[in-house]
């Protein structure tokens, strides 16, 4: 090929690649989100209203926020709440802390997703010694998983002490079982390779780089990071994390989460798994759920108990965040106060008893406890019933 043809070919290639690059790639929020009307970005406002109306059919909804191309295009709040109102993540935190594994691999602190957990945790021996980090992230570790999914652990002083003693009772990588112990152990792996607690790493390596300011990262009474459940922040700030993954881990020209790790995240290990009626389309992989994965497109989400969600439609650069009603008890370290010594054998019976004691005034939630707690007004029902309609309504935002 002569120089003229080579130059012409190169220019055409560059122009073609530039055309394919997302036009929104440079728009990120600073201290606050830049705002636009839905119609300015080609989104039908009536479709946004439908999505929000479906979400607010459930009285538990506190906040919904919709981001398109890096702009806040709509939000709605329940009475008494606003853009600064804090919610709690519950298991959405799993997706946050999982990102640190990808960062540690990039930094050479962890070899790969297929390294054995026992390479980093010496107590992971005997029947657990061959479990890999990938299997932990995919919820295929084979660790014992009772009906309560180890939620009993949440009411103990030392969550990690409990998790260390959970053995394997099935073959690895053969069955999906949503297991909180898997996620808690990630924090211990990170301590072993960095010498830092996972919440400090999350602050330094993810939250600070994406401009998140007002948040709480919870630890248990024994000072273990609750990497399986507990981050408090506003719906707007949760949406920052969604935008980070929509943009392949990049934020203002800084690669915060490695590109390759984000790409792995977008390839679910399990294509169909459900823990709730009517939610049978959900897949799972690397501590993320997949709400939709078909010929019409892909929507990935971080998901938390009682209906906390960060939905991501990466192809259309849309983030939809929904959190439920929450009132913080303050602090960042768990303290169960008057019920610390209560023996928990049945989680359902315990929670029922806990609510009865609160209603009769046996304790003052804000004064006697320090912990994330979702009360009855924040427990979703209709949102789960409408789940498939909500996912379809989100996907419909980008259809002509």
pLDDT for position 15: 39
Query: Quick one: what percent of the chain has pLDDT higher than 90?
Result: 76
Please report the DSSP string for 85-117 in residue order: -EEE-TTHHHHHHHHHHHHHHHTTSS--TTSBG
Work out the widest C-alpha separation in the chain, in whole angstroms: 87
Stated length of the chain: 400
What are 330-380's pLDDT values in tens digits? 999 999 887 776 777 676 777 777 778 777 877 777 778 899 999 899 999
C-alpha 66: how far from chain center = 16
User: 38-335+370-396 adopts what CATH topology?
Assistant: Beta-lactamase (3.40.710)
Q: What pLDDT is stored for residue 275 in this prediction? A: 53
pLDDT attached to residue 10: 40
Q: Write the CA distances from 262 to 53, 177, 248, 273, 340, integer angstroms.
A: 32, 22, 6, 21, 40
Contact 183, 227 (CB under 8 A): yes
Q: Distance between CA atoms of 335 and 221, rounded to whole angstroms?
A: 6
Query: What CA–CA distance (Å, rounded) separates 229 from 276?
Result: 19
Among 222, 261, 304, smallest CA distance to 137 is for: 261
Domain segments of the chain as ranges:
38-335+370-396
Give the whole-angstrom CA distance, residue 172 versus residue 135.
Answer: 7
Residue 351 CB neighbour total at 10 angstroms: 13
Q: Which residues of the chain have pLDDT under 70?
A: 1-25, 271-281, 341, 345, 347
Burial bucket for residue 348 (CB in 10 Å: 0-12, 13-18, 19+): exposed
Question: What is the model's pLDDT at position 22?
Answer: 47
What's residue 360's pLDDT?
82
| Percent of the chain clearing pLDDT 70 (strictly above) | 90
What does the pLDDT read at residue 343?
73
Q: Three-class SS of residue 21?
A: coil
| Residue 69: predicted pLDDT | 97
384: helix, coil or strand?
Answer: helix
Residue 299 token pair? 């929507």
What's the chain's average pLDDT?
A: 90
């Amino acid at each position: 090929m002569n120089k003229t043809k080579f130059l012409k070919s190169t220019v055409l290639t560059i122009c073609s690649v530039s055309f394919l690059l997302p036009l929104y790639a440079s728009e990120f929020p600073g201290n606050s989100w830049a705002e636009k009307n839905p119609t300015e970005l080609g989104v039908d406002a009536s479709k946004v209203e439908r999505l929000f109306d479906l979400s607010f059919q459930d009285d538990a909804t506190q906040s919904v926020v919709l981001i398109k191309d890096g702009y806040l295009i709509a939000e709605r709040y329940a009475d008494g709440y606003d853009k600064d109102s804090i919610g709690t993540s519950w298991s959405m935190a799993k997706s946050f802390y999982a990102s640190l594994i990808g960062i540690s691999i990039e930094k050479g602190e962890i070899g790969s997703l297929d390294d054995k957990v026992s390479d980093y945790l010496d107590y992971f021996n005997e029947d657990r010694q061959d479990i890999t980090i990938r299997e932990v992230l995919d919820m295929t570790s084979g660790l014992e998983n009772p009906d309560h999914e180890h939620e009993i652990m949440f009411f103990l002083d030392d969550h990690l002490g409990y998790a260390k003693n959970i053995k394997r009772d099935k073959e690895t990588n053969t069955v999906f079982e949503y297991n909180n112990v898997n996620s808690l152990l990630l924090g211990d792996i990170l301590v072993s390779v960095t010498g830092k607690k996972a919440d400090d790493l999350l602050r330094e390596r993810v939250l600070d780089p994406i401009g998140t300011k007002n948040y709480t990262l919870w630890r248990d009474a024994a000072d273990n990071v609750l990497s399986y459940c507990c981050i408090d922040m506003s719906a707007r700030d949760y949406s920052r994390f969604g935008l980070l993954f929509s943009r392949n881990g990049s934020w203002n020209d800084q690669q915060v989460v490695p590109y390759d790790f984000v790409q792995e995240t977008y390839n679910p290990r399990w294509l169909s798994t459900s823990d709730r009626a009517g939610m049978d389309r959900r897949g799972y992989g690397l501590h993320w759920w997949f709400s939709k994965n078909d010929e019409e497109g892909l929507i990935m989400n971080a998901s938390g108990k009682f209906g906390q969600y960060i939905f991501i439609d990466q192809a259309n650069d849309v983030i939809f965040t929904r959190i439920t009603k929450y009132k913080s008890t303050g602090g960042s370290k768990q303290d169960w106060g008057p019920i610390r010594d209560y023996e928990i054998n049945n989680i359902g019976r315990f929670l029922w008893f806990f609510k009865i004691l609160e209603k009769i005034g046996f304790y003052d939630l804000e004064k006697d406890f320090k912990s994330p707690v979702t009360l009855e007004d924040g427990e979703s029902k209709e949102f789960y019933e409408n789940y498939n309609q909500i996912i379809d309504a989100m996907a419909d935002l980008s259809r002509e």
